[in-house]
Amino acid sequence: MRVLKEEGGDREIRVALKSYIRPAKVEGVTVDELTAERSVATDIATRFRKATNLIFFNSRGLTEEIADLLNERSLDEAWPMNPFRVHHGSLSKDLREATEAELKSDQPITALCTRTLEMGIDIGAVQCVGQVSAPWAVSSLVQRVGRSGRREGDAQILRLYVIDEALTEKSTFSERLFPELLRAISMVELLLKRWFEAPRFGRKHYSTLIHQTLSVLRQTGGIKADLLFQTLCIRGAFDTVTKAEFVMVLRSLSEKSIIQQMQTGEIILAPEGEKIVESRDFYAAFASSEDYSIEHDSGKIGVMPRDHLPPVGEHLLLAGRRWCVIDIDDKVKRALVSPARGKRVPLFLGGAGALDREVMQKMKSLLLSSDIPPYLHSDAALWSGRVQIPQWHMLSALGRNRYS
């Protein structure tokens, strides 16, 4: 861990970054696919058991996986108490509030969480913030690090853990750059420079505007352009779209035979537009996943998307515990579970985020630099191996992207 200072600031920030490699699958060879995750759990067990802490994750699935590994370790080593709790949006309100209450108690509790504890909820003093896999925005990292060091004289402490794939002869160019580690270093460097993404006000959201335009035409059967503009842009949610821009959208849709204008001036759906709105996926942009309540002994544990719910007799992880599905009732959208020894990591909706141009530029400059950050742990020395890739190859590949 290194003690650092923000550029132009007096606040002390202590940063440590550890990198792990997920072993490659080899045909005919048994490999522990959780080797890297076990290493992360081992370090967390060592460093986060004696105070109130928060450890953030980008996915609920990985949150549950690490929580299970920590619970396994607590049983194997006979800990007096397992201080690790799980907190994310798929857990019941009662379980989340119970964790929040424990965080404010005198007990040393560490919450494994997603963005649910990023801001807004009062949980008292936090000694250290962990982050497993770098977030997709520096602003998120700023919010999370800001949860620690709030008392006078206390430093903000950040421990970052990243997992990259082992390199093989089939590894892609981007995989050879250790993208998780690269993104994490870029985020920390920008954090120390006190840079973060500007709020995105006034975005036009044209794709949603088109969707709503077709929806209105389907509902009304036809409507004049002025009234459509009034409905969606003047009185609706698209008040940043000008009349000229709206006309351009309508013309583009007309050129693609999605809409057409009648002699009366009314705009209606054209044949291609009819096909689009009749598609079963037309409302998917706004449809939420069909969540089922996961319950045990009449108590609600959380929710899971129906498509990701294991069948009866199979297992899942939720709230840091192992469960077996014993019944699924599609009428009331409920699954009953009982404690079990088996496990399966749950699947939740979500995915990767989009990186700001400044982050991409920082990633590029790091690749072309020979510097090794002082907060990089010795086991992350693989970072120095990036220079094995010819510089001209890097420049050629990176120079072609739109951020060069």
**Could you report the per-residue pLDDT of 216-251, keeping only the tens digit for each?**
998 888 999 999 998 898 877 788 888 989 999 999
Question: Where does a domain end: 147, 163, 192?
Answer: 192
Q: What is the DSSP letter of 118?
A: S
Q: pLDDT tens-digit profile of 144-190?
A: 998 898 887 788 999 999 999 888 888 888 888 889 999 999 999 99
Same domain flag for 12 and 158: yes
Check whether residue 151 and residue 76 sit in a common domain. yes
Q: Say which residue the tokens 């990243």 belong to.
A: 162
- Which amino acid, residue 294? I
User: Are the CB atoms for 260 and 274 separated by under 8 Å?
Assistant: no
List pLDDT tens digits, range 68-108.
Answer: 999 999 999 999 999 999 999 899 999 999 999 999 998 99
Same domain, 177 and 55: yes
* Domain assignment present for 34: yes
Q: What's the pLDDT score for residue 400?
A: 40
CA atoms of 270 and 211, how far apart (whole Å): 15
User: Which of helix, strand or coil describes residue 330?
Assistant: coil
Distance between CA atoms of residues 174 and 377, nearest Å: 22
Lowest mean pLDDT among 15-19, 145-149, 368-372: 368-372
Residues 311 and 259 in one domain: no
Residue pLDDT, tens place only, 192-209:
999 988 876 666 788 889
More confident residue, 287 or 83: 83
Domain boundary among 157, 192, 227: 192
The single residue listed with the structure tokens 């049983």 is: 75
Please list the alpha-helical segments (H only) found in 9-89.
Answer: 35-47, 60-76
pLDDT of residue 280: 59
Helix axes 35-47, 60-76, angle to 10 degrees: 70
Are residues 236 and 324 located together in one domain of the fold? no
- 300: pLDDT strictly greater than 50: yes
Are 45 and 180 members of one domain?
yes
Are 278 and 319 contained in the same domain? no
Q: Tokens representing 197?
A: 């993404």
Q: What is the CATH number of the domain that holds 51?
A: 3.40.50.300
What per-residue confidence (pLDDT) applies to 249?
A: 94
Residue 5 region by backbone torsions, left for phi larger than 0, else alpha for psi between -120 and 50, else beta:
beta
161 plus 258 within the same structural domain: no
